[in-house]
Amino acid sequence: MKKPILGVTLYSFTNEWQQRLYTLEQLVEKVARLDLGPAVEVVGFQSFRTFPDVPDDFARYFRDLLEKNGLSPSCLGANLDFGRRKDRLMNDDEKIAYIERQIVSARKLGFPVMRIQHTAGAKVLEALEPAARAAGVQLACELHSPLSADNPDVIELRERFDRIGSEYLGFIPDFSATMTAVPEGHWENLRRSGAPEALIAEARAIWKTDDPTPVKFGALAAAADRFKVGPAAMSQLNLAMTMFGHAPVDSWRELLPYARHIHGKFYHVDEKGSEPSIPYPALMSLLTDAGYGGTISAEWEGTAFTEEAAGFEEVQRWRAMGERLLAD
């Protein structure tokens, strides 16, 4: 029976990286030393100074670095910065060119999959399929919260993928779409930004509704206005709605045939070896039942709540949890 291949995204070490505690080489070496591989994912704009492009000699250096550490590239995180100009959005040709540059980088660096945002849209993705195919890089839209299987954008993409029928297009499901609670760390953050308990209680209730995100933003703005909180707290409130989704675990089932890679999002694995806000036992058993044999990155996002350089410790706990659940 096929089993998922576990690995890690260097994004989990955002705090370590931002505090300049590690170089890229040191991060990779520690991943290997702690047995967190073999699959290594990298966010291009986080780890590579010259991104969206990479020079040939750097690409060679990076491939050698992974190889000599017994690791393999899984997925390159690309970004569609379609709002990079203040005065106007990118048009489709500009979107295609911007993503194509990153496909070239993915190929040079040896990544078989490249993550892109769904905001690229079906038409742009279809136009990019030949470039992805030629590069041997699967182009996959991250289905981060709030993009669950029943989201209209996701349905449209899926229909387009069905019509094109190419293994070079697909999805990267992210466990943040199927959470059972907002991580406590997020509410803690809001308290620190000066949000009163009553506002947090309202935000919890708004999170639990099935309203579309813009409606939730509206409700939050109205609540924040009543409690007179500042822009920092307001942006934290909005983030809670987009970062943490609460779709049922079973909704992944119909998307798995399109999965090219998976983001094993988590916020904290506790002493008992469980993630209080994400139903890992159900998710892992769904993946094994479905015979998913692709890669899953441990993606620690507790960096949203703490400056602590706790990435390696958290990923080690995630890894132990993942191996235990897959062995069951």
Partner 1 sequence: MGTAMKIIQDGSLKVVPGGYAVQARLNWYRSLPLSCVEKVSLALDGAPVDPARIRFGINGHEYRLDELDDLVEEFWFVQDSATLHVLQPGAVAKDETHTLQAEITLRFPYIPVGFGKFLTTPTSCTTTQTAA
List residues near partner 1 by CB under 8 A. Answer: 11, 14-15, 17-18, 20, 43, 45-46, 49, 51, 79-87, 89, 117, 119, 189, 192-193, 214, 217, 231-232, 235-236, 238-239, 242, 303-307
Kindly report the three-state secondary structure assignment for every residue of 77-114.
Answer: ECCCCCCCCCCCCCCHHHHHHHHHHHHHHHHHHCCCEE
Convert 245-259 to b/e letters by CB count within 10 Å (16 or more is b): bbbebebbeebbebb
The answer to whether 309 and 16 have CB atoms below 8 angstroms apart is yes
Of 236 and 295, the one with the shorter C-beta distance to partner 1 is 236
The answer to whether 182 and 207 have CB atoms below 8 angstroms apart is yes
Of 15 and 285, the one with the shorter C-beta distance to partner 1 is 15
Convert 209-237 to b/e letters by CB count within 10 Å (16 or more is b): eeeeeeebbebbeebbeeeebeeebbebb
CB of 136 to partner 1, least distance (A): 25
Of 82 and 252, the one with the shorter C-beta distance to partner 1 is 82
- N residues, the chain: 328
The answer to whether 74 and 7 have CB atoms below 8 angstroms apart is yes
Q: Which two tokens stand for residue 41?
A: 């994912």
Q: Is the dihedral angle over the CA atoms 231, 233, 237, 239 positive or is it negative? A: positive
Of the listed 118, 144, 263, 268, which one is catalytic? 144
CB of 50 to partner 1, least distance (A): 9
CB of 90 to partner 1, least distance (A): 9
The verdict on whether 144 is a catalytic residue reads: yes
Of 80 and 149, the one with the shorter C-beta distance to partner 1 is 80
CB of 143 to partner 1, least distance (A): 15
CB of 301 to partner 1, least distance (A): 9
Of 127 and 232, the one with the shorter C-beta distance to partner 1 is 232
Cα-Cα end-to-end distance for the chain:
13
CB of 162 to partner 1, least distance (A): 26
Residue 166 CA to residue 51 CA, distance in Å, equals: 27
Q: How many other C-beta atoms lie within 10 A of the C-beta of residue 49?
A: 8
Residue 190 CA to residue 181 CA, distance in Å, equals: 16
Q: Is 291 exposed, middle or buried (0-12, 13-18, 19+ CB in 10 A)?
A: exposed
Of 180 and 306, the one with the shorter C-beta distance to partner 1 is 306
Residue 32 CA to residue 141 CA, distance in Å, equals: 28
- Residues annotated as part of the active site: 144
